[in-house]
């Protein structure tokens, strides 16, 4: 969870995630959206990959990035635990 | 959001939040739970306060900490936005 929350703490990385929420993109397509140097983009990509928030696949010379939405469930469970929200509290019939 | 996610990226600070999810505690009561120096605890308290995840009130010499649960809603909305989850997707009748 440390790595996930650290990855989420940067606006550039959050913008990358938001772009990927609409579908897979290549490293180049993502980089075009940011007035940021290639090494800085690589740095952000690496942090997102290490935290498992994004997945990559290679096709020829291209690297495709996609959002790993299963991590969202882990984040939500961690937040519910932290804030003392139980499944019981969340039920409407309660 | 930067400050909130950065605050959440540390296990000591997450443990402080979890303790506070059970109710208000004094700085001293919290500090007892951690094998950490007073300056380090103050550092973590400050980060949690700056991110608005915890609120404080003073009563005499005591500082009481409590969880600011309204921030949870902000975090959830931010995550839904990042991961492309809309209210519509979340509805069961969809």
CATH of the domain at B78: 1.10.10.10
Mean pLDDT of the residues in chain B: 90
Count of domains in chain B? 1
Residue A13 or B85, more confident: A13
A56 in any annotated domain: yes
pLDDT class of B58 with cuts at 50, 70, 90 = very high
Residue B88: what pLDDT?
60
CB neighbour burial string for B16-44, b if at least 16 within 10 angstroms, e if fewer: bbebbbeeebebeebbeeeeeeeeebeeb
Residue A73: what pLDDT?
87
E strands, A1-94, are: 25-26, 54-59, 62-67
B46 in any annotated domain: yes
The ipTM estimated for the assembled molecules is: 0.84
Q: What's the rounded mean pLDDT across residues B15-21?
A: 96
Asked whether residue B90 carries a pLDDT value surpassing 60, the answer given is no
pTM for this entry: 0.86
A29 in any annotated domain: yes
Between CA A59 and CA A31 the distance in angstroms is: 18
The H or E element containing residue B20 is helix B11-20
Residue B14: what pLDDT?
96
B93 in any annotated domain: no
Q: Which residues of B touch A (CB under 8 A)?
A: 1-6, 8-11, 14, 17-18, 21-22, 67, 69, 72, 75-76, 78-79, 81-85
How close are the terminal C-alpha atoms of chain A, in Å? 30
Q: Whole domain around residue A25: which residue ranges?
A: 2-68
Q: What's the rounded mean pLDDT across residues B40-62?
A: 95
Residue A94: what pLDDT?
38
Q: At how many degrees (to 10) do helices A70-82 and B70-82 cross? A: 180
- The reply to whether residue A5 touches residue B9, judged by beta carbons under 8 angstroms, is yes
Name which of B21, B69, B84 to mutate to probe chain A: the one with the most chain A Cβ atoms within 10 A of its Cβ.
B84
Tokens of A75: 């984040």
B13 close to B67: Cβ distance less than 8 angstroms: no
- The reply to whether residue B17 touches residue A69, judged by beta carbons under 8 angstroms, is no
Asked whether residue B94 carries a pLDDT value surpassing 50, the answer given is no
A92 in any annotated domain: no
B94 in any annotated domain: no
Name the one residue in this structure whose structure tokens are 């009563």: B59
A51 in any annotated domain: yes
Per-residue pLDDT of chain A (94 residues; tens, 9 = 90+): 999 999 999 999 999 999 999 999 999 999 999 999 999 999 999 999 999 999 999 999 999 999 998 998 899 989 988 888 876 654 444 3
pLDDT class of B92 with cuts at 50, 70, 90 = very low
- Distance in Å, alpha carbon of B58 to nearest chain A alpha carbon: 23
């Amino acid at each position: 969870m440390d790595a996930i929350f650290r990855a989420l703490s940067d606006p550039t990385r959050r913008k990358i995630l938001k772009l990927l929420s609409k579908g897979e993109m290549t490293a180049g397509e993502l980089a075009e959206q940011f007035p940021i140097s290639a090494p800085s983009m690589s740095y952000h990509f690496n942090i997102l990959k290490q935290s498992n928030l994004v997945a990559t696949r290679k096709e020829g010379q291209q690297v495709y990035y996609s959002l790993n939405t299963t991590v969202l469930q882990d984040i939500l469970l961690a937040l519910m635990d932290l804030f003392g929200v139980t499944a019981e509290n969340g039920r409407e019939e309660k």
